[in-house]
């Protein structure tokens, strides 16, 4: 916040105007001053430790000025409520606090007992105990209290500093003074910060990690003496803490509780804001969802920095070094996030990607899953990069978008050449029971299951495929299930698709006709590259009940004949390479409505050369004849 608006409120003659004058003049003004001072603005450079522009508004308690008072209270960021004697003190609870509530304002209140120079008011400790604490207990809006004297210039600067701090570093979201504990939202935020600072994930912040934390938050080194004092404070408040290994999560939370108890909650806010927390202790929306626009016909992929981050994260949390993340390791990894991304739950993670024999996601599957997430929902990847603590190599000025890159648009699919994409999407369509689900299982190296289970909702599988020449790409296979008609009618879905794989059961005579009817019903499919695949080739081939047989049908389209494969064959991997090659080189997999015209370029060149030679011979003959 760059500006704080303070409204001074209280009964007449409690010293509101005197406090403001004493602040501005830096001395008590003995001459009579006007009852309501004009609004004053204090720039950040003058007596404002929080580096904010401060506006102070004086008000009158007279009934005829109530309209103006109401407007000023509603415009303010903080209310400075001043009283000076028993009558004005009683009015705090009986009139002023209920009045603020009736206006529906939700701003902190700083309670100020002015005229402390009058000996009849008692000692500060007595005033705090007898007057201030009971009111603060009744009205939680009261952020803090202070005793001042405009005449003696006692705590004048401090009272306005408290008003600033109540806005810039509010205590209410952090600490429950009644319970004497940090609030759950503050604890959750600090636990996430501890997680991000514990770089080796051993459960302790060692000396180096504490120094890095200090440099990040306060931009200055932490001296050995200061570190020892911090450990000593934690040990005294938590006798069971073992600070020799470092500061554990419990000790880190306890340290921040000590800050809150000592009125140093601005220290906690500095920490929270360095880690992008708002005043409501949620992460900033601009941090979770930075601006990232994808042009039409382009897609989003992880950049090398993004892949490196997810590789390091996997290796850090694979505690047993078995090459897979088990449930407890996944839980620990996603601890600073809201949990698994909703998109992952929708795609039945981890069954959507590569797992080891124990059922744990492998590094290959982990990177494939994030590649698919970035392709389908780049905003999800960006928010989780923020949750998990991705730090751009270029420093804090860069955002999480540096972990992503945008591919070149692939508007013209029929143009010869490869598209510059490392992640491609292939829809697998075909008749029920044609073997699509088994194909997806084989893609993820799962054993063949002969039991038929109809696919109701769309199912995806993602894995890496090595192309010719050694280049790797990520192929997403999606079986559409009962949503097949809705997806094939959706032009946006078709635009996102790189390839269609038409599948049929070569042993079922009624299987291929489904493909024929699909292409007739959705002529827009002709605009997509396609591969025809005959599945279950290990079984007896049968004649299809279709007007044309599959080989003839593809021949009329000037397409390659269907590939005959079986998920039980080791050679099934060659199909996935073919699909990835077709998706990255789409011009090679387009149906053509007619035969390409033969290339007669050579004939035209030859005829042209002959004509030139005859013309030259004719000119020479004519010249010779004329000479004779």
pLDDT of residue 91: 93
pLDDT of residue 277: 94
- Residue 497: closest CA among 575, 424, 406: 424
**pLDDT tens profile 370-418:** 999 999 999 999 999 999 999 887 666 678 899 999 999 877 776 776 7
Three-class secondary structure assignment of 124-171: HHHHHHHHHHHHHHHCCCEEEEEECECCCCECHHHHHHHHHHHHHCCC
pLDDT of residue 607: 45
* Between 281 and 263, the higher pLDDT residue: 281
Tokens describing residue 200: 């080796």
Q: Quick check: helix, strand or coil at residue 8?
A: strand
pLDDT of residue 627: 52
pLDDT of residue 395: 67
pLDDT of residue 293: 92
Please enumerate, as own/partner, the contacts of 376-383 that have beta carbons within 8 Å and a separation of 24 or more. Answer: 376/343, 376/476, 377/341, 377/343, 378/292, 378/294, 378/300, 378/404, 379/289, 379/292, 380/341, 380/342, 380/343, 381/300, 381/302, 381/306, 382/288, 382/289, 382/290, 382/292, 383/288, 383/289
pLDDT of residue 94: 94
Percent of the chain with pLDDT over 90: 53
Question: On the CB side of 524, how many CA atoms lie within 13 Å of its CA?
Answer: 12
The dihedral sign for the CA sequence 437, 439, 440, 441: positive
Q: Is the peptide bond before 315 cis (omega within 30 degrees of 0)?
A: no
Mean pLDDT confidence for 419-443: 92
**pLDDT tens profile 211-252:** 999 999 988 888 889 998 998 888 888 777 778 888 999 999
∠528-534-536 over CA atoms, to 5°?
140
State the Cα–Cα distance between residues 521 and 404, nearest whole angstrom: 38
- Residue 301: closest CA among 537, 474, 93: 474
CA end-to-end span of the chain: 105
Angle between helix 224-237 and helix 249-261 axes, rounded to 10 deg: 90
Question: On the CB side of 337, how many CA atoms lie within 13 Å of its CA?
Answer: 21
Tokens describing residue 568: 């039980």
State the Cα–Cα distance between residues 454 and 434, nearest whole angstrom: 10
DSSP states of 249-302: HHHHHHHHHHHHHTT-HHHHHHHHHHTTB-TTSSB-HHHHS------TT--EEE
**pLDDT tens profile 437-495:** 999 999 998 888 877 787 788 899 999 999 888 889 999 999 998 888 999 999 989 99
**pLDDT tens profile 566-603:** 999 888 999 999 999 999 988 887 766 444 444 443 43
Mean pLDDT confidence for 525-543: 91
- Residue 273: closest CA among 354, 173, 366: 173
Residue 609 pLDDT greater than 60, yes or no: no
pLDDT of residue 452: 78
pLDDT of residue 546: 87
Q: DSSP class of residue 408?
A: P
State the Cα–Cα distance between residues 562 and 344, nearest whole angstrom: 33
- Residue 476: closest CA among 500, 454, 502: 500
Contact 7, 80 (CB under 8 A): yes
pLDDT of residue 417: 67
Size of the chain, expressed as the number of residues it contains: 628
Mean pLDDT confidence for 496-505: 93
State the Cα–Cα distance between residues 31 and 300, nearest whole angstrom: 70
Lowest mean pLDDT among 107-121, 157-171, 495-509, 575-589: 107-121
Contact 388, 338 (CB under 8 A): no
Contact 531, 501 (CB under 8 A): yes
**CB contact set of 430 (below 8 Å; sequence gap of 6+):** 436, 502, 503, 504, 505, 511, 514, 515, 535
Question: On the CB side of 267, how many CA atoms lie within 13 Å of its CA?
Answer: 12
Mean pLDDT confidence for 125-144: 82
**pLDDT tens profile 354-375:** 999 889 999 999 999 999 999 9
State the Cα–Cα distance between residues 360 and 355, nearest whole angstrom: 5
Q: Assign 3-state DSSP to the chain and report helix, strand, coil percentages, each to 5.
A: 45, 15, 40
Mean pLDDT confidence for 547-563: 90
Tokens 């906690």 -> residue: 268
Residue 422 pLDDT greater than 50, yes or no: yes
State the Cα–Cα distance between residues 318 and 96, nearest whole angstrom: 59
pLDDT of residue 615: 59
DSSP states of 307-351: HHHHHHHHHHH-TT-SSEE-HHHHHHHTTTSSSS-HHHHHTTTTT
pLDDT of residue 464: 95
Tokens describing residue 308: 């490196």
Tokens describing residue 333: 């990894």
pTM assigned to the model = 0.81
Q: DSSP class of residue 48?
A: -
pLDDT of residue 249: 92
User: Does an H or E element contain 466, and which?
Assistant: strand 459-466
Q: What is the mean pLDDT of the chain?
A: 87
Contact 5, 76 (CB under 8 A): yes
pLDDT of residue 595: 45
Residue 421 pLDDT greater than 50, yes or no: yes
CB atoms near residue 446 (< 10 Å): 15
Question: On the CB side of 618, how many CA atoms lie within 13 Å of its CA?
Answer: 6
Residue 606 pLDDT greater than 60, yes or no: no
């Amino acid at each position: 916040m760059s500006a704080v608006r303070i409204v001074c409120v209280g009964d007449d003659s409690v010293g509101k105007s005197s406090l403001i004058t004493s602040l501005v003049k830096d001395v008590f003004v003995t001459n009579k001053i006007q009852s309501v001072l004009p609004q004053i603005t204090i720039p950040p450079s003058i007596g404002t430790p929080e580096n904010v522009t401060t506006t102070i508004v004086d008000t009158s308690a007279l009934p005829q000025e109530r309209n103006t008072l109401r407007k000023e209270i509603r415009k303010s960021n903080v209310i400075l409520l001043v009283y000076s004697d028993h009558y004005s003190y009683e009015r705090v609870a009986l009139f002023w606090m209920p009045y603020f509530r009736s206006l529906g304002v939700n701003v902190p209140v700083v309670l100020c007992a002015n005229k402390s120079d009058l000996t009849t008011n008692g000692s500060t400790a007595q005033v705090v105990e007898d007057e201030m604490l009971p009111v603060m207990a009744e009205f939680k809006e009261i952020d803090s209290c202070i005793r001042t004297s405009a005449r003696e210039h006692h705590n004048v600067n401090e009272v306005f500093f408290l008003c600033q701090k109540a806005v810039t570093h509010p205590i209410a979201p952090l600490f429950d003074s009644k319970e004497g504990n940090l609030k759950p939202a503050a604890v959750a935020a600090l636990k996430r910060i501890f997680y991000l600072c514990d770089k080796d994930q051993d459960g302790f912040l060692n000396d180096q990690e504490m120094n890095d934390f200090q440099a990040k938050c306060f931009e200055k080194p932490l001296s050995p003496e200061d570190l020892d004092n911090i450990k000593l404070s934690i040990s005294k408040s938590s006798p069971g803490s073992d600070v020799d290994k470092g500061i554990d999560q419990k000790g880190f939370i306890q340290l921040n509780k000590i800050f809150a108890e000592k009125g140093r909650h601005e220290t906690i806010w500095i920490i929270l804001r360095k880690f992008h927390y708002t005043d409501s202790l949620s992460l900033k929306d601009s941090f979770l969802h930075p601006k990232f626009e994808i042009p039409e016909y382009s897609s989003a992929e992880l950049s090398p920095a993004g892949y490196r981050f997810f590789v390091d994260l996997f290796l850090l949390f694979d505690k047993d070094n078995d090459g897979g993340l088990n449930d407890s390791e996944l839980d620990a990894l996603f601890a600073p996030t809201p949990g698994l991304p909703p998109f992952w739950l929708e795609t039945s993670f981890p069954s959507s990607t590569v797992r080891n024999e124990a059922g744990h996601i492998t590094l290959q599957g982990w990177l494939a899953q994030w590649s698919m997430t970035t392709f389908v929902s780049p905003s999800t990847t960006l928010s989780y990069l923020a949750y998990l603590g991705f730090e751009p190599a270029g420093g804090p000025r860069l955002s999480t978008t540096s972990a992503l890159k945008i591919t070149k648009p692939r508007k013209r699919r029929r143009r010869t050449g490869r598209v510059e994409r490392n992640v491609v999407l292939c829809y697998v369509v075909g008749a029920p029971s044609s073997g699509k689900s088994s194909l997806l299982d084989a893609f993820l190296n799962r054993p063949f299951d002969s039991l038929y289970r109809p696919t109701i909702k769309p199912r995806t599988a993602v894995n890496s495929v090595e192309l010719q020449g050694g280049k790797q790409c990520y192929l997403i296979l999606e079986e559409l299930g009962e949503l097949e008609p809705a997806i094939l009618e959706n032009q946006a879905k078709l635009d996102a698709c790189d390839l269609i794989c038409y599948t049929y059961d070569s042993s079922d005579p009624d299987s291929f006709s489904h493909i024929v009817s699909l292409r007739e019903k959705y002529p827009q499919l002709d605009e997509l590259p396609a591969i025809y695949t005959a599945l279950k080739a290990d079984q007896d081939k049968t004649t299809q009940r279709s007007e044309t047989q599959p080989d003839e049908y593809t021949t009329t389209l000037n397409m390659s004949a269907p590939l005959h494969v079986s998920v039980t064959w080791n050679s099934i991997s060659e199909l996935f390479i073919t699909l990835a090659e077709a998706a990255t080189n789409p011009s090679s997999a387009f149906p053509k409505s007619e035969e390409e015209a033969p290339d007669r370029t050579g004939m035209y060149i030859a005829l042209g050369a002959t004509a030139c030679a005859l013309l030259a011979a004719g000119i020479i003959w004519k010249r010779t004849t004329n000479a004779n």
